Amino acid sequence: MSLVSVNHLIKAYKDKKAVDDISFSLNQGKCVALLGPNGAGKTTTLRMLAGFIKPTDGSITFNEDSLPSDFRKYVGYLPQFPVFHNWMTGKEFLVYVGELSHLSKGDAQKRADELLTLVHLSDAKDQRIGKYSGGMKQRLGIAQALIHSPKLIMLDEPVSSLDPIGRREVLNLMRELKKDATILFSTHILNDAEEVSEEILMLNHGKIVKHGAIEDIDAVQDTVTILLSFSDEPKFIEERLKEVETIFQVTREDHHFELSVHDLDLARKQIIEMVHKENWKLNKFEVARSTLEDVFMKAVQE
């Protein structure tokens, strides 16, 4: 079920469109990675969805609630560079944020304890935030974003600045959170997107250049690469492979071949039949799946 729909959203600064007519919807219970190079429009998109900045044009609809409603009740937001009061303890900070969200002191304390457990900071709740590691600070920032139990959690580059340990802590937490909420997080690190998200939304120059399920990424590529190697005379094999109509490109380095094909199933059948008929010694047959990086590079270069 769709949680939020974005229709023809535009944000212009003077004559530059930071976000240029984007439309998409987010389904409940999904973790979606907002990917794009620097300046692609990721932060601007998140800030519009969080209700911090007004779109120049277009609409955002949460369930049935359209602009100019206050979205903030639906969304939790962790900015790219969260600011903490380092002299406060983790718990004091969350109680303070809870009170800012109009919880009573008692409810804010209860909610702070729940969230500290959720983000695995209970043991450090009475430590000053200034003593927290980068990963702990990010987890506290995520707890802050969850204070009012939002349906959509938006995280702007939540792991980009962390060391491998902090990154692992935060990615694990995101994996837990997506059981109960929808997560939209921006990143320019493709591995992070592959690790925790089911869907990707790729932006470049303010426009959506790809949107889909991670497992469909191969399908959006219209060509597949097959890697072969043989022990037999390669020149002869190369000539024969070029005759196979499903193979539209053959490149060779010594005994190793790289074939580009459109129809993988048919190409595989034809190649295997030829190998069998010619009695070639096939040492390797590998289908090289396109990675998210391939798709990203192709999308941003188009």
Ligand X SMILES: Nc1ncnc2c1ncn2[C@@H]1O[C@H](COP(=O)(O)OP(=O)(O)OP(=O)(O)O)[C@@H](O)[C@H]1O
Binding site for ligand X (CB under 6 A): 13, 18, 36, 38-44, 188
Nearest approach, Cβ of residue 38 and ligand X (Å):
4
Taking the least distance from each CB to ligand X, the nearer of 43 and 270 is 43
Taking the least distance from each CB to ligand X, the nearer of 18 and 147 is 18
Nearest approach, Cβ of residue 209 and ligand X (Å):
13
Nearest approach, Cβ of residue 106 and ligand X (Å):
38
For the chain, count helices (H), then strands (E): 10, 14
3-state secondary structure of 48: helix
Taking the least distance from each CB to ligand X, the nearer of 39 and 130 is 39
Residue carrying the six token digits 């320019």: 188
Taking the least distance from each CB to ligand X, the nearer of 55 and 90 is 55
- List the beta bridge partners of residue 162: none
Nearest approach, Cβ of residue 110 and ligand X (Å):
35
Q: Are 21 and 8 in contact (CB under 8 A)?
A: yes
Nearest approach, Cβ of residue 278 and ligand X (Å):
52
Nearest approach, Cβ of residue 256 and ligand X (Å):
38
Amino acid (1-letter code) at residue 16: K
Residue carrying the six token digits 């190793």: 256
Cβ neighbors of 253 (< 8 A, separation 6 or more) are none
Q: Are 179 and 208 in contact (CB under 8 A)?
A: no
Taking the least distance from each CB to ligand X, the nearer of 14 and 277 is 14
Taking the least distance from each CB to ligand X, the nearer of 89 and 204 is 204
Nearest approach, Cβ of residue 66 and ligand X (Å):
23
CA distances from 2 to 5, 28, 31, 62, 252 (A): 7, 6, 13, 9, 48
Beta strand pairing call for 152-156 and 75-78: parallel
The whole-angstrom separation of Cα 128 and Cα 92 is 9
Instruction: Copy the structure tokens of residue 203.
Output: 């932006």
Taking the least distance from each CB to ligand X, the nearer of 78 and 259 is 78
CA distances from 139 to 80, 97, 119, 180 (A): 13, 15, 6, 17
